[in-house]
Amino acid sequence: MEVVIGEHRFKGIHDQWISTEKENPFTGLDEFLAKYFGKHILIFIAYDVKNHIEDLQTNHKNDIGFPLIHCIIPAKNYSFKGFKPGKKISDNHIQFEPKTSKKNYLETIGKIKNHIQKGDFYEANFCYEWVSNVENFNAKNVFEKLSNLTQAPYKVYADLEHHYVLSASPELFLKKRGDRLFSSPIKGTRKRMANESSDNQIKKELRENAKERAENIMIVDLVRNDLSKIAKRDSVKVEELCQVYTFKNIHQMISTISCDMKKNVTFSDIIKATFPMGSMTGAPKVRVMELMDQYEPSRRGLYSGSIGLIKPNGDFDLNVVIRTLIYNKAKQLLSFHVGGAITIQSSAEEEYEETLTKAASLFKACEND
């Protein structure tokens, strides 16, 4: 086992806990976290934990086979300064196939907008999967390339018993510092331009785009509501609203919401109140999750979930699992999802193009060296 999160590099397993889909994961989770309070704890939370928070189910097969929750107490902790150069990925480019065609994607967006028109919900995050069968997957090389392409702040490399997980996430789900919680949902994406003037114009357009701002503000309201369940009275605050941040490959519109937590709130209490993150569901959450399971072509699995590090003092950083490659070692199956927020103003063609923008760095990282 080897996991890289931020500047930390963890190796070996002192102990671990894996939740199954048939049991309520939260009892076992809190027991495990209490047992190892004061240690570094790695945690992987799959999207389908939602089924144990709300009265929901998932109808798709678990092809990638990632567990609901996986907690690891690492044996050793090092500082991470990069991997040594390895072998080439393969003789050929890794070729991905989408689980839905462009035609089906466009038709589905039309159906989702019909739901919005009828008042079933007012924003939905619709996602689809790309897959490839890869015999010799050089995870470290791909991770290094993906990191260089994106310079994402919440990146993760994980070499687990049955899976590789390579995440270049730009999004913070939750950050805990003492009794304060912070969440920074992303809604609004634009591709970087090579020309500085054009790039600045694209950034300005994103900042002023009424549709993107409306999407972002809807999710801010949802996050405020989620945090209020565990927050001290009148402590939920919007720290930043619709700020545009520039990454190496894209511009993103990000807001930040914070709160002061009530006393005796457990980690499971926090997850039950806030998971899945609003930026990956839509609003209202439960109805959207129910319907997206019907329209999406495959199970999200770890995508739309969270990976993070709980520190010895109880503080933690949890990312949003987006821009993430997941590889099942036994099946030799490589997968990633992309998606976006759909509102009544959405153009199906533009939404499809945005998914390709989000996928671009993942495609490029898997090209032959």
What percentage of the chain exceeds 70 in pLDDT? 98
pLDDT at 349: 97
Residue among 175, 187, 285, 358 flagged as catalytic? 187
Query: Is 70 exceeded by the pLDDT of residue 73?
Result: yes
Query: Is 80 exceeded by the pLDDT of residue 105?
Result: yes
Interval 71-99 mean pLDDT: 82
Instruction: Please report the sign of the dihedral spanned by the C-alpha atoms of residue 302, residue 303, residue 304, residue 306.
Output: positive
Query: Is 80 exceeded by the pLDDT of residue 90?
Result: no
Identify whether the C-beta of residue 108 lies closer than 8 Å to the C-beta of residue 124: no
Interval 149-166 mean pLDDT: 97
Residue among 2, 129, 144, 171 flagged as catalytic? 171
Q: How far, in Å, are 12, 130, 166, 309, 311 from residue 5 at the CA level?
A: 15, 25, 11, 7, 12
Q: What rounded mean pLDDT belongs to the chain?
A: 94
Query: Is 90 exceeded by the pLDDT of residue 52?
Result: yes
More confident residue, 87 or 177: 177
Q: What is the 3-state secondary structure (H, E, C) of the chain?
A: CEEEECCEEEEEEEEEEECCCCCCHHHHHHHHHHHCCCCCEEEEECHHHHHHCCCCCCCCCCCCCCCCEEEEEEEEEEECCCCCCCCCCCCCCCCCEECCCHHHHHHHHHHHHHHHHHCCCCEEEEEEEEEEECCCCCHHHHHHHHHHHHCCCEEEEEECCCEEEEEEECCEEEEEECCEEEEECEEEEEECCCCHHHHHHHHHHHHHCHHHHHHHHHHHHHHHHHHHCCECCCCCEEEEEEEEEECCCEEEEEEEEEEEECCCCCHHHHHHHHCCCHHHCEECHHHHHHHHHHHCCCCCCCCCCEEEEECCCCCEEEECCCCEEEEECCCCEEEEEEEEEECCCCCHHHHHHHHHHHHHHHHHHCCCC
pLDDT at 85: 61
pLDDT at 54: 96
Query: Is 80 exceeded by the pLDDT of residue 92?
Result: no
More confident residue, 88 or 56: 56
Give whichever of 8-22, 87-101, 266-280 has the largest mean pLDDT: 266-280
Whether the upstream peptide bond of residue 297 has omega within 30° of 0, thus cis, is no
Residue 81 pLDDT grade (very low, low, confident, very high; cuts 50, 70, 90): confident
Residue 6 pLDDT grade (very low, low, confident, very high; cuts 50, 70, 90): confident
Per-residue pLDDT tens for 111-156?
999 999 999 999 999 999 999 999 989 999 999 999 999 999 999 9
Per-residue pLDDT tens for 335-354?
999 999 999 999 999 999 99
Interval 106-110 mean pLDDT: 98
pLDDT at 32: 96
187 flagged as catalytic: yes
pLDDT at 23: 80
171 flagged as catalytic: yes
Interval 87-105 mean pLDDT: 82
pLDDT at 179: 97
Per-residue pLDDT tens for 190-200?
999 999 999 99
Domains contained in the chain, CATH given: 2-365 (3.60.120.10)
